[in-house]
Amino acid sequence: MRIPEKLLAVMRALRDAGGRPRLVGGCVRDWLLGLDPKDFDIEVPGMSFEQMHAILAPFGATDIVGRSFGVIKLRLDGAEYDFSLPRRESKTGAGHRGFAVAPEPDLSDADAAARRDFTINSIAYEPAAPAVHSWEPPLRMPLARERQTVNCEPGTGNRAEGALIDPHHGARDLRARILRHTSAAFAEDPLRVLRAFQLAARFDLALAPETAALCRSIAPAFHELPIERIWGEWQKWAEKSTKPSRGLEVLEQTGWLAHFPELAALRGTPQDPAWHPEGDVLAHTAHCCDALVRLEEWQQSPPPRRRALLLAVLAHDFGKPATTQYAERRGQLRWISPGHESAGGPLAETFLQRIGAPRETIARARQLVEHHLAHFSGRAGFSDTAIRRLARRLLPATIDDLCLVMRADHDGRPPMHSPEVLARIEQLRARARELEIASAAPRPILLGRHLIAAGMKPGTQFKAILDAAFEAQLEGAFSDEAGALEWMGKYSPEEMK
């Protein structure tokens, strides 16, 4: 495994002092998947808390944030690492915080790993130890935003060779793409069900049947979870998914879909099979989410944009359960959902508030939900005025955002493919780019300072004049400052009211 040189030096010092430092948790899982580990957590059996602190202190600033948990944070070259002793955890009260933690330096490998949520997160890697486990790497994950990979096999020339410590067979489950709980203690923390939801989506994993059954047994404990922890798991799903539908499958298999009623209502809501051969609205939504994350533009976007887009696609048909009807359309009886896009906006906002999403994410996603059919209004072509007004209505989202949502909506109907729909989406985006409003809404050109420069005194009439000027700008009456001043010169404040 590639380990930062200074961190490796710290681990060697701990080993020389009698400890047995090993990397644990997500960094080992990611390395075995062929990803470049970002965060390193180190567990150190074989020494006391005081001994561990004495070894760490000369290397950098230490923060004893968890003496009772046996945890020390070490800041080293701008990075922060958690060093901890093996520990037992026992349930003492309700919620994910109701645990008693007891560090035990001499705890066995199996017992130390048993407190971890899933077997794939219970694997440890001990640098410089004899390689006692063989490892056949799974297929590397095709993550376009993960630029670097490392060799999956110990002993092939990477910086730190060593042994996998895998008492719960996490490597086997990782190869099989199975998400399995490590021990019955899993049921003591309901947050772990939402961790299963986002891990399945991030790494394309299937939930083990026995783990799904355990999750169902603790479904009522969802209400113990604080909203910020719920959002933490949804945020990872929305920003890091490689196959979001896997997460939705977990919610269904565990019965936790019921905790998100806007989503649960999609299951069983019918659609016209001629237009949606993939099935009901939840099936369509799952396909759409997977389609979005396959788009390179989504993969290359910053996390706030990724999460707003994926949550918008998740919510884009929230209005269908309330609007779907079997009625005549174009001379045929069929399932239709008139007005579902506008009906879905408030539902999307309520859902996102309840899972703790930030206000900017909520505002952006709601606008995308309410306008995700805008390309169908341009059957005869998009006028510049209509595009300007659309860009303004979408704020804080953009036409570029909207076109990605539209593309995901189109791609989420396998095996259907409509060149006509794709052409309309591209036509909208191309014209918006020509107007320089694809990634930002039009801003008013005529401002209060222009009125003052023209000799007007600030007052209530300013708003009427500026509103009228912006309307004229959106209609295409002018497109630069010179044109705005010329427009202003033709009208008196009385005419603008």
184 vs 85, 188, 207, 343, CA distance in Å?
22, 8, 15, 43
Nearest CA-CA partner of 118 in 173, 59, 160 = 173
The answer to whether the beta carbons of residues 127 and 11 sit under 8 Å apart is yes
Dihedral-angle region of residue 135 (phi above 0 means left; psi in -120 to 50 means alpha; beta otherwise)? beta
Residue 90 has a pLDDT of 63
Q: What is the CA radius of gyration of the chain?
A: 28
Instruction: Give the pLDDT band (50/70/90) at residue 72.
Output: very high
CATH of the domain at 151: 3.30.460.10
Q: Which tens digits make up the pLDDT trace of 256-309? A: 999 999 999 999 999 999 889 999 999 999 999 999 999 999 999 999 999 999
Residue 386 three-state SS = helix
Nearest CA-CA partner of 47 in 18, 16, 6, 68 = 18
Please tell me the distance from the alpha carbon of residue 125 to that of residue 346, in angstroms, as a whole number.
48
Domain assignment of residue 59, yes or no: yes
Report the run of H or E that residue 100 belongs to, with start and end: strand 99-103
E-assigned strand segments in 245-339:
325-329, 332-336
More confident residue, 187 or 489: 187
Mean pLDDT in residue range 114-127: 94
Structural domains of the chain, count: 2
Q: What is the percentage of the chain residues whose pLDDT exceeds 70?
A: 88
Report the run of H or E that residue 73 belongs to, with start and end: strand 71-76
Mean pLDDT in residue range 465-486: 87
Domain assignment of residue 42, yes or no: yes
Residue 360 has a pLDDT of 96
155 vs 4, 34, 136, 151, CA distance in Å?
17, 15, 13, 10
Domain assignment of residue 55, yes or no: yes
Domain assignment of residue 469, yes or no: yes
Indicate the residue among 152, 169, 185 that finishes a domain: 185
Please tell me the distance from the alpha carbon of residue 368 to that of residue 341, in angstroms, as a whole number.
9
Q: Which domain holds residue 37?
A: 5-185
**Number of C-beta neighbours around residue 214 at 10 A:** 18
Q: Is 153 exposed, middle or buried (0-12, 13-18, 19+ CB in 10 A)?
A: middle
Residue 96 has a pLDDT of 54
Domain assignment of residue 292, yes or no: no
The encoded tokens of residue 421 equal 């729909």
Q: Mean pLDDT lowest for which of 50-59, 138-147, 382-391?
A: 138-147
Residue 326 reports pLDDT greater than 70: yes
Instruction: Give the pLDDT band (50/70/90) at residue 495.
Output: very low
User: Which sign, positive or negative, has the C-alpha torsion 43, 47, 53, 58?
Assistant: negative
Please tell me the distance from the alpha carbon of residue 107 to that of residue 46, in angstroms, as a whole number.
9
Q: Mean pLDDT lowest for which of 14-23, 121-130, 250-259?
A: 121-130
Residue 54 has a pLDDT of 95
Report DSSP state, residue 118: B
Instruction: Give the pLDDT band (50/70/90) at residue 13.
Output: very high
Among 106-120, 124-138, 401-415, 450-464, the range of highest mean pLDDT: 401-415
Residue 399 reports pLDDT greater than 90: yes
The encoded tokens of residue 437 equal 């409003």
Residue 160 reports pLDDT greater than 70: no
CA angle centred on 34, ends 72 and 112, rounded to 5°:
35
Indicate the residue among 157, 185, 213 that finishes a domain: 185
Predicted model pTM: 0.86
Domain assignment of residue 305, yes or no: no
Residue 155 reports pLDDT greater than 60: no
Mean pLDDT in residue range 31-55: 92
Domain assignment of residue 262, yes or no: no
The answer to whether the beta carbons of residues 219 and 254 sit under 8 Å apart is yes
Measure CA of the first residue to CA of the last residue in the chain; give whole Å: 71
Residue 378 has a pLDDT of 57
Domain assignment of residue 196, yes or no: no
Mean pLDDT for the chain overall = 88
Residue 66 has a pLDDT of 64
Report DSSP state, residue 248: H
Q: Mean pLDDT lowest for which of 58-72, 361-375, 424-438?
A: 58-72
Indicate the residue among 185, 208, 226 that finishes a domain: 185
Residue 132 reports pLDDT greater than 50: no
Q: Which tens digits make up the pLDDT trace of 211-243? A: 999 999 999 999 999 999 999 999 999 999 999
Nearest CA-CA partner of 354 in 249, 225, 236, 201 = 225
Mean pLDDT in residue range 406-417: 95
Report the run of H or E that residue 409 belongs to, with start and end: helix 399-411
Residue 434 reports pLDDT greater than 70: yes
Q: Mean pLDDT lowest for which of 233-237, 323-327, 334-338, 491-495?
A: 491-495
Residue 9 reports pLDDT greater than 50: yes
Residue 489 has a pLDDT of 82
**Number of C-beta neighbours around residue 484 at 10 A:** 21
Residue 330 reports pLDDT greater than 50: yes
In SS3 terms, 310-324 reads as HHHHHHCCCCHHHHC
76 alpha-carbon distance from chain centroid? 29
Residue 147 has a pLDDT of 28
In terms of C-beta distances under 8 Å and separation of at least 24 residues, what long-range contacts does 453-456 make, across chains too?
454/488, 456/493
Residue 496 reports pLDDT greater than 50: no
Residue 420 has a pLDDT of 92
Please tell me the distance from the alpha carbon of residue 237 to that of residue 33, in angstroms, as a whole number.
18
